[in-house]
Amino acid sequence: MYFVNAPFFLRWMYPSVTWNRSRASKKIYLTFDDGPIPEITPWILDVLQEHQVKATFFCVGENIVKHPEIYQRLVQEGHRIGNHTFNHLKGWDTPDEVYIENVMLCQEHTKSKLFRPPYARAKKSQINILRKHFELIYWDVLTGDFDLNISPEKCYANVLKHTKSGSIIVFHDNLKAIPSVKYALPRTITHFLQKGYTFDTL
Tell me the pairing of strands 27-33 and 56-59: parallel
In the chain, the amino acid numbered 78 is G
How far is the C-alpha of 86 from the C-alpha of 83, rounded, in Å? 8
Exactly one of 33, 34, 145, 173 is catalytic; which is it? 33
Residue 135's region, left for phi above 0, alpha for psi from -120 to 50, else beta, is beta
Kindly report the three-state secondary structure assignment for every residue of 77-134.
CCCEEEECCCCCCCHHHCCHHHHHHHHHHHHHHHCCCEECCHHHCCCHHHHHHHCCCC
Please indicate whether residue 33 is annotated as part of the active site.
yes
From the candidates 88, 109, 172, 173, which is the catalytic residue?
172
Give catalytic status of residue 67 as yes or no. no
42, 85, 123 from 132: Cα distances, Å: 33, 16, 15
Looking at the DSSP assignment, which residues form a beta bridge with residue 171?
32
Q: Which residues are catalytic?
A: 33, 172
